[in-house]
Every structure is written in C-alpha cells, then in structure tokens.
Amino acid sequence: MQLRRLQNFRQLYKYLHTSEMSVEESKKKAAFAAVDNHVKPNQIVGVGSGSTIVYAVQRLAAREKEEGLNIRCVPTSFQARQLILDAGLNLSDLERESQIDITIDGCDESDVNLTLIKGGGGCLTQEKIVAANSREFVVIADYRKNSASLGEQWKYVPIEVVPFAWKQVKSKIEQELGGEAKLRMAKAKAGPVVTDNSMFLLDWYMGDQARDWFTVNQRIVTIPGVLETGLFVNMAQKAYFGLENGTVLEKAKPV
C-alpha cells in the first residue's frame, strides 16, 4: 500500500511538473513569435507586465545583441522597468517618447474580439496608457487565456480606485452592474494591495451574463473615485497564444 501511494505521488508530481512546463513553454513561444514578427530596428517598444513578458524581454535582449536593433523601451510598471534594465536594453519613458511604435503585453483573458481583461498583477492603468499611445498593440499569452467570451476562465475585472472612495465605488458598481466588488488584499502584508500609483484595487466579480463590454467600461470609468478599469476594449490588433501542442495561434482583431 505504501509503495502504491509513493508511485501515485510520483505520477502526480510528474503530471503537475509537465503541465507547468507546458504553460511556461507556451508563454515563451507566444512571446518569441510576437517579438520576431513585429519588432523592427530603431523602434520605440512598450514593455508590458507579468510573467509572459519575461520571455518577450529575453527575446528583445537576444535580438538586440545579435542584430543591433537599437530599440528604446517604455515600461508599464516597476517590474517592467527592472526587466528592461536587467536585460541591458535602452530604457525610456513617455516624457521622452511622444509616440510608441509597438507595445507587447500579456492579458488575463481575451475574447474572440480581442477584448481583454488585464490587471491581475495590478498594473492596469499604466499598461492602458502605454497601449493607448502605441501605433500597434500586440498581446501574448498561453492557451488558458484564450476564450470565446470574457468570464469563461477569468472571473473578475480589476478596477483601480482612489483609496478615499473605495467603499463608495464598490457600492455603486454592485448596485448598477450586479456581481460583487472585492477590495484586493495583500498576501505578504496586512491590508490592501497598493498599486504603483498608490491606489487600491477592486476586483469586480461580474458573473456569467453576457455584457456589452464597451458600455460597461464607459460606465465604470465615470464613477467618481475610479482611476481606470482592466477592460481593454478595441485596443489590441493582434494576439499570440502559445498552445499545448507547441504551436502558436495568431489571432487578429475582427474587421
């Protein structure tokens, strides 16, 4: 009996380890494909945040070394800034760059129209600002983020709010849009998560009903106390999803 349990444990460990490696490899393939297909010499590149972006920065650094791309990188977060510096890439910002050529960023979920939910890592406002000031916005993710409609796999929309008004914003959202908005709490410290903008995050669990995300986004951002939402509507032009079989699925925004 003990031997059987040990064998079962080894099988479970092998399965979980293989599954995790598959996810990471799919992230890497999506990131490499986006960088290779879209980044050109002398461009200004917006660098997103999150785990998939690590691979995009790796590929940017490799191409910079091999090809002398001479790119300048605009970060969307403190994490992105550190990745750029650690990779030896040229760091820039929005004060120096009036227009970004291309931004590459991840997502928490994407629907068939490339409407995105972002902000699971808390960087949604700066990510949206950089993407909005880019000629091209390309998304990279693993197969788990590719959905027919939002809410299939990711259950909430992050909303960045002024700390002074978080309770009022929470109440307004729940009254007008339904669902439940929860203040995101920190895991390694007491109290709520604080963003790079010194704001709080409300995670709105929106339920499974069909919604007009453009209208929903517009309504939320007009609530006093809301800085920005994690809904990226009509922003991404292209998405790359690394699949479990080792290939990459390319999706373009419907015309």
Q: Are residues 6 and 89 in the same domain?
A: yes
**Structural domain includes residue 251:** no
Q: Are residues 141 and 165 in the same domain?
A: no
Nearby residues of 166 by Cβ (< 8 Å), 6 or more positions away: 183, 200, 202, 225
Q: Are residues 45 and 97 in the same domain?
A: yes
Q: Tell me what the mean pLDDT of segment 60-67 comes to.
A: 97
Q: Tell me what the mean pLDDT of segment 204-223 comes to.
A: 95
Q: Are residues 65 and 111 in the same domain?
A: yes
With residues binned 3-state (H G I as helix, E B as strand, rest as coil), the percentages for the chain, rounded to 5, are 40, 25, 35
Among the listed ranges 5-14, 104-113, 135-144, 200-209, which one has the minimum average pLDDT value?
Answer: 5-14
Phi, psi of 198 (to 5 degrees): 65, 35
**Structural domain includes residue 87:** yes
Q: Are residues 66 and 161 in the same domain?
A: no
Read off the pLDDT band of 60 (50, 70, 90): very high
How many angstroms separate the CA atoms of 169 and 161, rounded?
8
What is the chain's mean pLDDT, rounded? 92
Q: Tell me what the mean pLDDT of segment 7-34 comes to.
A: 72
What CATH number should be reported for the domain holding residue 193?
3.30.70.260
Rounded to 5°, angle at Cα 182 from 180 and 184? 155
**Structural domain includes residue 249:** no
Q: Are residues 106 and 224 in the same domain?
A: no
Phi, psi of 236 (to 5 degrees): -80, 135
pTM of the model: 0.89
Q: Are residues 15 and 131 in the same domain?
A: yes
Using CA atoms, how far residue 141 sits from 8, 10, 33, 214, in Å, is 32, 29, 11, 22
Q: Are 83 and 57 in contact (CB under 8 A)?
A: yes
pLDDT on residue 7? 53
SS (H, E, C) 58-82: HHHHHHHHHHCCCCEEEECCHHHHH
Per-residue pLDDT tens over the stretch 23-54: 999 999 999 999 999 999 999 999 999 999 99
Q: Tell me what the mean pLDDT of segment 4-24 comes to.
A: 56
What CATH number should be reported for the domain holding residue 43?
3.40.50.1360
Residues classed as catalytic: 127
pLDDT on residue 114? 98
Q: Are residues 39 and 96 in the same domain?
A: yes
Give the closest residue to 184 by CA, choosing from 168, 199, 174.
199
**Structural domain includes residue 34:** yes
Q: Are 174 and 157 in contact (CB under 8 A)?
A: no
**Structural domain includes residue 255:** no
Domain count, the chain: 2
- Which tokens belong to 172? 């307004």
Q: Are 147 and 183 in contact (CB under 8 A)?
A: no
pLDDT on residue 209? 85
Which helix (H) or strand (E) element contains residue 137? strand 134-142
**Boundaries of domain holding 177:** 156-230
pLDDT on residue 252? 96
Q: Are residues 56 and 110 in the same domain?
A: yes
Per-residue pLDDT tens over the stretch 157-196: 999 999 999 999 999 999 999 999 999 999 888 899 999 9
pLDDT on residue 145? 97
Q: Are residues 120 and 133 in the same domain?
A: yes
